[in-house]
C-alpha cells in the first residue's frame, strides 16, 4: 500500500517525519519519526550537578526555561533542598508566562494556518470583519479601519511575490472552511500577536536577565537579588513593569486568543471527533505554593478517557523503551524498558541510507525513545493538564472548561480530539494568564514584609553532599509533563536522563507494538487530497511538537 510521507513537518521545532498508510481516503496506520540525533545527556556525565540546568537549557531553542526548572528541581530533590518563597514565586511567574507566551505563538504562528486560509482574507469586507470581531470580543483594536489596513498590507505583501513563511501552504484546500471575514480577523491577530509576544517576554528578561536562555536559575533558589530600593536588584520599578506586562498578557488572552479560538473552532466542530489518540493523559502538576508546596495545577493520570477516575503519578513507573528507536541498551533486552535513573543513550543508527523512500517501520525507525508509564503510552500537554485538573475538581479549570464547552455547544467527550487539544491549550493559557499575577502579588507582599531571601543558603558546597544521591525534577512545560532524573556520585553527575513532553507524544511503537500518541491520533483521520495532507498537519500541530526537546 502506498504511503503518504510528510518530511519535514514544518512550523514546528526540529525534524519530524510522518509516514501514513491511506485506505479509502482515511489514515489506516501511521508512524512518527525524528530524523535527528542530539546526545546532550551524554555530555552531562561527569559534570557538576549545579551546572546541569545550564546545559539542559540547550536541549531546545524554544522552551529553554523549562529544562532549567526541571534540572534545578531534580538536583534539589536529590540534595533535599527547599527553596525560599521568593525564589519559588519568581519561578512560578517565569513558568506561567512561558506557558502563556508559548501557547499564543503556537496558536497564531504555528497552528492557525492549518485552519485559516490567509489568501481568502484578501476577499473579506473590512466592515463586516469588524462586525464579526465585535460580536466575539471588545478588543479595542478591532475596527474596520484596522482590518482594512491589514488587508492592504497583506495585498502589498502578496504583490511582492516573496511569501516567506506563507509560501508553502495548501491555500485554497477544500478542508479550509472559514469565511473571508474570519480569515481576515485571524490574520490581523496573527500580526498583532507577533508584536505582543516580543513585549510579554520582557518579563523573562527582567526576572531571568534574558530570553531565550534566562540566566538567573540556581540550585537552591535564584540568583536575582531582591531589594525594592536597589538599582541592581529586582526592585520596585521592575516589579511594576512585570505587573503591567502580566496585565497585557492576560488582556490579550482574554480578548483576542480565546475569542479567536472559539470563533475558529465553531467552524470545525467535526474535528472534535478526529484525532483522539491513545486516550491516556498524564500531568505532573505544577505551580507549587511557596509555603505548603501544594501544586496549583494538580498531578494525575486519566486512563482510557475515563473522566470519573483520577490516578496518582508514581515516578518509578516511568520507563523508556528502544525497540523501535535507534539506540542500543546494555542493561535491558528486547521489550524491556529502563527507568531514567538507569537510562542509557547509546546511539546506533540502523535505518536506511538517504535518500530513501520509506523507513522500515517494522524495525527501528526513530531517534525518539518510547517512554511509557506502567508500560502504557501517555499523552501529555495542555489537554492532559486540563483533563487531570478537571477530573480533580480544580475550580478554575472546571469553570474555564465549562465556558469553552458551552460556547461551542459540545460535551466533555469533545476534548478527546484534535480540536480538544487546541481548545485545551487556550484554556491552559487563560488559567496561567490569570494565576501568574497572583504570584506577583504574593512576591510583592513578601518583599514588603522585609523578606529578601532568594536562596536556601545551604548545601551549595559539594562537601556537604552525601557520596551518592538520586533525584528527579518534574515540571509542566508548555508541551506537557517534563521530567529530569539525576544520579550524583562523588559530587559529579553519574547519570542524567530527561523524559520530555514531545518524547512522550512523538514516541514510536514500543516492544509490545503499542503506537505513540501522534501515531494513534492520526489513525482514522480523513484525507481529502493525498498530495496535500493538510489534515495530518492539523492533528500533529495540535500537539505542538518540539523534536529538539524530544531527542535532546
Ligand atoms: Ni522544545 Fe519542550 C520541553 C517540549 O520540555 N516538548 O514545552 C516544551 O519545547 O518546546
Look at residues 476, 471, 460, 292 and name the one whose alpha carbon lies nearest to residue 388: 476
Q: Indicate which residue's Cα is closest to atom 8 of ligand 1.
A: 479
| Ligand 1 pocket test, candidate residues 502, 503, 547, most atoms within 8 A of CB | 502
Whether 549 lines ligand 1, by a CB cut-off of 6 Å, is yes
Atom of ligand 1 at shortest range from CA of 550: 6
The atom number, within ligand 1, closest to the CA of 505 reads 6
CA of 121 to the centre of ligand 1 (A): 32
pLDDT (tens place) for every residue of the chain, 552 residues total: 679 999 999 999 999 999 999 999 999 999 999 999 999 999 999 999 999 999 999 999 889 999 999 999 999 999 999 999 999 999 999 999 999 999 999 999 999 999 999 999 999 999 999 999 999 999 999 999 999 999 999 999 988 988 887 888 899 999 999 999 999 999 999 999 999 999 999 999 999 999 999 999 999 999 999 998 899 899 999 999 999 999 999 999 999 999 999 999 999 999 999 999 999 999 999 999 999 999 999 999 999 999 999 999 999 999 999 999 999 999 988 899 999 999 999 999 999 999 999 999 999 999 999 999 999 999 999 999 999 999 999 999 999 999 999 999 999 999 999 999 999 999 999 999 999 999 999 999 999 999 999 999 999 999 999 999 999 999 999 999 999 999 999 999 999 999 999 999 999 999 999 999 999 999 999 999 999 999 999 999 999 999 999 999
Q: How far apart are CA 271 and CA 252, in angstroms?
A: 25
Q: Which of 104, 482, 498 to mutate to test the pocket of ligand 1 (most atoms within 8 A of CB)?
A: 482
* pLDDT given for residue 265 in this prediction: 97
| Residue partners of 421: CB distance under 8 A and separation at least 6 | 275, 381, 382, 383, 542, 543
Q: Is 13 in the pocket of ligand 1 (CB under 6 A)?
A: yes
Question: What pLDDT, on the 0 to 100 scale, is given for residue 168?
Answer: 81
Using CA atoms, how far apart are residues 92 and 98, in angstroms rounded to an integer?
10
Q: What is the pLDDT of residue 341?
A: 98
Query: Hey, whose CA ends up nearest to atom 5 of ligand 1?
Result: 500
Please tell me whether the overall predicted TM-score, pTM, comes out greater than 0.95 for this model: yes
| Cβ of 477 below 6 Å from ligand 1 | yes
Check if 63 has its Cβ closer than 6 Å to any atom of ligand 1: yes
The response to whether residue 546 sits with its C-beta less than 6 Å from ligand 1 reads yes
Residue identifier of the C-alpha nearest atom 9 of ligand 1 = 63
Per DSSP, helices labelled H in 166-324 are 180-200, 202-208, 236-252, 258-265
Ligand 1 centre and the CA of 294: distance in Å? 24
- Å from CA of 481 to ligand 1 middle: 9
Torsion of CA 351, 352, 355, 357, to 10 degrees: -100
User: Is residue 548 in contact with ligand 1, taking CB distance under 6 Å?
Assistant: yes
76 within 8 A of 412, measured Cβ to Cβ: no
Alpha-carbon distance values, 419 to 269, 355, 539 (Å): 7, 35, 8
Instruction: Give the whole-angstrom CA distance, residue 246 versus residue 440.
Output: 9
CA of 298 to the centre of ligand 1 (A): 20
Instruction: Identify which of 65, 483, 500, 550 to mutate to test ligand 1's pocket (most ligand atoms within 8 A of the CB).
Output: 500
Q: Whose CA is nearest to atom 10 of ligand 1?
A: 63
Distance 181 CA to ligand 1 centre (A): 34
Q: How far is the CA of 98 from the centre of ligand 1 (A)?
A: 11
Residue 515's pLDDT is 98
Dihedral angle of Cα 514, 515, 517, 520, to the nearest 10 degrees = -120
| Ligand 1 pocket mutation, candidates 53, 501, 541, 552, criterion most atoms within 8 A of CB | 501
Does residue 388 have its Cβ closer than 6 Å to ligand 1?
no
Distance, CA of 311 to CA of 306 (rounded, Å) = 10
Distance (Å) of CA 508 to CA 62, 284, 298, 372: 23, 22, 28, 11
pLDDT of residue 1: 62
Amino acid at each position: 500500500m502506498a504511503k503518504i510521507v510528510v518530511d519535514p513537518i514544518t512550523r514546528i521545532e526540529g525534524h519530524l517525519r510522518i509516514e501514513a498508510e491511506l485506505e479509502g481516503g482515511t489514515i489506516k496506520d501511521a508512524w512518527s519519526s525524528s530524523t535527528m540525533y542530539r546526545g546532550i545527556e551524554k555530555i552531562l556525565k561527569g559534570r557538576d550537578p549545579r551546572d546541569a540546568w545550564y546545559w539542559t537549557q540547550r536541549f531546545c531553542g524554544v522552551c529553554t526555561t523549562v529544562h532549567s526548572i526541571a534540572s534545578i528541581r531534580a538536583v534539589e530533590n536529590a540534595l533535599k533542598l527547599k527553596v525560599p518563597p521568593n525564589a519559588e514565586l519568581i519561578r512560578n511567574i517565569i513558568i506561567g508566562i512561558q506557558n502563556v507566551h508559548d501557547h499564543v505563538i503556537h496558536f497564531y504562528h504555528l497552528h492557525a494556518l492549518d485552519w485559516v486560509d490567509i489568501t481568502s482574507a484578501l476577499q473579506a469586507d473590512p466592515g463586516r470583519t469588524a462586525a464579526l470581531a465585535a460580536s466575539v470580543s471588545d478588543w479595542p483594536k478591532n475596527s474596520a479601519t484596522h482590518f482594512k489596513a491589514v488587508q492592504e498590507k497583506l495585498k502589498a505583501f502578496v504583490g511582492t511575490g516573496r511569501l516567506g513563511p506563507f509560501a508553502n501552504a495548501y491555500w485554497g484546500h477544500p478542508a479550509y472552511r472559514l469565511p473571508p471575514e474570519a480569515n481576515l480577523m485571524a490574520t490581523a491577530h496573527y500580526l498583532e500577536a507577533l508584536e505582543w509576544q516580543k513585549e510579554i517576554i520582557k518579563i523573562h528578561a527582567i526576572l531571568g536577565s534574558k530570553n531565550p536562555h534566562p540566566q538567573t536559575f540556581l540550585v537552591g533558589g535564584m540568583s536575582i537579588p531582591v531589594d525594592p530600593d536597589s538599582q541592581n536588584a529586582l526592585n520596585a520599578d521592575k516589579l511594576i513593569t512585570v505587573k503591567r506586562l502580566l496585565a497585557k498578557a492576560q488582556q490579550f488572552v482574554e480578548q483576542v486568543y480565546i475569542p479567536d479560538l472559539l470563533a475558529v473552532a465553531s467552524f470545525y466542530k467535526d474535528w472534535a471527533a478526529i484525532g483522539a489518540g491513545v486516550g491516556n493523559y498524564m500531568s505532573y502538576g505544577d505551580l507549587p505554593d511557596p509555603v505548603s508546596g501544594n501544586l496549583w495545577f494538580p498531578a494525575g493520570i486519566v486512563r482510557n478517557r475515563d473522566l470519573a477516575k483520577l490516578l496518582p503519578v508514581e515516578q518509578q513507573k516511568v520507563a523508556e523503551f528502544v525497540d523501535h528507536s535507534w539506540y542500543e541498551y546494555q542493561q535491558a533486552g528486547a521489550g524491556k524498558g529502563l527507568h531514567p535513573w538507569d537510562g542509557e543513550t547509546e546511539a546506533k543508527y540502523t535505518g536506511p541510507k538517504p535518500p530513501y523512500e520509506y523507513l522500515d517501520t517494522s524495525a527501528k525507525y526513530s531517534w525518539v525513545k518510547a517512554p511509557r508509564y506502567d508500560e502504557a503510552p501517555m499523552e501529555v500537554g495542555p489537554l492532559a493538564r486540563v483533563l487531570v485538573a478537571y477530573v480533580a475538581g480544580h475550580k478554575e479549570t472546571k469553570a474555564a472548561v465549562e465556558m469553552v464547552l458551552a460556547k461551542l455547544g459540545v460535551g466533555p467527550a469533545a476534548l478527546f480530539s484534535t480540536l480538544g487539544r487546541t481548545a485545551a491549550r487556550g484554556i491552559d493559557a487563560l488559567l496561567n494568564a490569570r494565576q501568574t499575577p497572583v504570584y506577583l502579588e504574593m512576591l510583592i507582599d513578601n518583599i514588603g514584609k522585609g523578606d529578601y531571601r532568594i536562596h536556601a543558603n545551604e548545601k551549595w558546597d559539594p562537601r556537604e553532599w552525601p557520596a551518592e544521591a538520586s533525584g528527579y525534577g518534574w515540571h509542566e512545560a508548555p508541551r506537557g509533563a517534563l521530567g529530569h532524573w539525576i544520579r550524583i556520585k562523588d559530587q559529579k553527575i553519574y547519570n542524567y536522563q530527561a523524559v520530555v513532553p514531545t518524547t512522550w507524544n512523538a514516541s514510536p511503537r514500543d516492544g509490545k507494538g503499542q503506537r505513540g500518541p501522534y501515531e494513534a491520533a492520526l489513525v482514522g483521520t480523513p484525507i481529502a487530497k493525498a498530495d496535500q495532507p493538510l489534515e495530518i498537519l492539523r492533528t500533529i500541530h495540535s500537539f505542538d511538537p518540539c523534536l529538539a526537546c524530544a531527542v535532546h
